[in-house]
Structure 1
Amino acid sequence: MHLAELNTECLLHLFSFLDKESRRSLSLSCRRLHEVFLEPGLWTLLRFGSPAELRRDNFVLGAALRHLAVCWHSSRVKVCNVEEWMKSSFQKDLCREHEGLVSSFLERVCHICPNLVSLTLSGCGHITDSDITIVLRSCSRLRRLCLENCSRVTDATLRAAALHGTSLEEVRVDFCRNVSRGGLQALRESRPELVLGAERSAGMIPDTRPEERPHVRKALQNVLLFV
């Protein structure tokens, strides 16, 4: 018996053991297997290792998606997390290659995947509070939100979680330096039933724009007066 002669249930079971690349390669062998590849029920979980993977055609987005993770642990993550006004021209050029990829992808998810229950973003230095807020508004069944090393996430995301995350059961904001103790406390008070985690976040030094550092500028001016 040829593989393509198996019924859909058996083929879906076989496909479920393969990674995204293998599924795509197998789907190119014949029309029958390509139809199985496009079956929404096959794609309940998606995990990406970098924003570049979001450009590929080796996965299908659909209403069946329940669990989504973009976990980037490349050395470039360090560049993404540098404050924008402190980046060199070279660093900015690196970021331009991928800075809008995760945000654009999340926008697609909001339109296509309303049944998402778990979202994990790690090392995604360019996502903003607005990106997360849109997800919370669009995916009303979201139960778990895990953000790690996302430098542009602030207390605004915590406020959005309290306001729009009606189904949320767990929120984690680990190593997110612009999340404050006050923001975490406000979320705890407004949603005491939530499991809330924030490893190191509130203890890190938040971003501060140069124009917001008058005491530093004044101190420097005083030093220059005596040079």
Structure 2
Amino acid sequence: MQVCQQARPHSVLLKETNLVLFFFFSPLFFLSFFIFMMHLVDLNQECLLHLFSFLDKDSRRNLSLTCVRLREAFLDPRLWSLLHFSSPSELRRDNFVLGSSLRHLNICWHSSRVKVCNIEDWMKTSFQWDLCSKHERLVSHFLERVCHMCPNLLSLTLSGCGHITDHDVISMLQSCRRLQQLCLENCCRVTDAVLQAVVTHGISLLEVRVDFCRNITQTGLQGVRLRRPGVWLSAERSAGMIPDSQPEEKLHIRRALQKVLIFS
């Protein structure tokens, strides 16, 4: 026979709640927290950086607001050798530090809005233009800061960044001469000019990915393979996609089809 556990009386629950509140809001709790902080700030810089490395960007910033010593650890460039952003809006925040210690940078945006960004400019509606205008230059401006502040970058990954241009990527190749890995995925405005810059400026590159970039052609890929055979090159679906076209080209095609239909 199964014995049902009796519910605890309301008075017992009230006592337990009061006990928890007393613990967190009593002077003893704050005294314990103060002692903990005293021991924490007594650690040397290397130990603090090691502890900070287990926290995400927001947690690092929040902890740095507690005292000057932890703020110094937060601002130490050595803490920021890797940066990962999952949306362009995160680039506006003040929860990270750019510096010469940055080695790996990832900006990967996986959202339904990426489809809107990938629409050719002349085909966008006013609503789509308004949507894109809120973040159109965010990644480009951020990459400009990286060019000036992070010369020792080793790997760069840009995924779903539909508004970056050839100029943005070429500037990165020119400024970050130690770059070994360049990964571009679903960046619709990137063209063969980037591949030409890989040959000219990417002296340290070992791996290049231009996957799902519709304006990359077989000619550009072949040029990299011939002139930089030591670079591992990937271009999944890129050269086989339909490239962008100008409005006047569409108009000529439409008129030609109309003539065929009229005289057929």
Q: Following TM superposition, by how much is the alpha carbon of 1:133 offset from its aligned partner in structure 2, in angstroms?
A: 0.5
- The question of 1:99 aligning with 2:126 is answered no
The secondary structure found in structure 1 opposite 2:55 is: coil
Match of residue 83, structure 1, among 99, 120, 130: 120
Unaligned runs of 5+ in 2: 1-35
Distance 1:220 1:62 in 2: 58
Distance 1:154 1:16 in 2: 37
Q: Following TM superposition, by how much is the alpha carbon of 1:199 offset from its aligned partner in structure 2, in angstroms?
A: 0.7
- The question of 1:175 aligning with 2:212 is answered yes
User: Any residues of structure 2 matched to 1:19-58 within 5 Å, and which?
Assistant: 19-58=56-95
Q: Following TM superposition, by how much is the alpha carbon of 1:154 offset from its aligned partner in structure 2, in angstroms?
A: 0.6
> In the TM superposition, what whole-angstrom CA distance separates every residue of 1:45-67 from its partner, at most 9, and x where no partner exists?
00000110000000000000000
RMSD after superposition: 1.3
Q: Percent identity, aligned pairs only?
A: 68
Distance 2:155 2:133 in 1: 28
Q: TM-score, normalised by structure 2?
A: 0.83
Bigger Cα displacement from structure 2, 60-69 vs 203-212: 203-212
Letter in 2 for 1:113: C
Letter in 2 for 1:35: E
Letter in 1 for 2:255: R
Letter in 2 for 1:89: S
Match of residue 236, structure 2, among 192, 199, 209: 199
Distance 1:220 1:11 in 2: 71
- The question of 1:155 aligning with 2:192 is answered yes
Letter in 1 for 2:173: L
Match of residue 111, structure 2, among 74, 79, 83: 74
Match of 2:246 in 1: 209
Instruction: State the number of aligned residues.
Output: 226
Match of 2:146 in 1: 109
Q: Following TM superposition, by how much is the alpha carbon of 1:145 offset from its aligned partner in structure 2, in angstroms?
A: 0.2
Distance 2:101 2:135 in 1: 27
Q: Which has the larger radius of gyration?
A: 2
The secondary structure found in structure 1 opposite 2:239 is: helix
Match of 2:257 in 1: 219
Distance 2:92 2:215 in 1: 29
Distance 2:160 2:104 in 1: 18
Unaligned runs of 5+ in 1: none
Bigger relative contact order, structure 1 or 2 (CA pairs below 8 A, ≥6 apart): 1
Distance 1:222 1:142 in 2: 52
Letter in 2 for 1:167: S
Distance 1:55 1:161 in 2: 29
- The question of 1:15 aligning with 2:52 is answered yes
Match of residue 135, structure 1, among 172, 182, 204: 172
Q: Following TM superposition, by how much is the alpha carbon of 1:5 offset from its aligned partner in structure 2, in angstroms?
A: 1.8
Distance 2:235 2:115 in 1: 20
Moved over 3 A (4+): none
Q: Following TM superposition, by how much is the alpha carbon of 1:222 offset from its aligned partner in structure 2, in angstroms?
A: 4.2
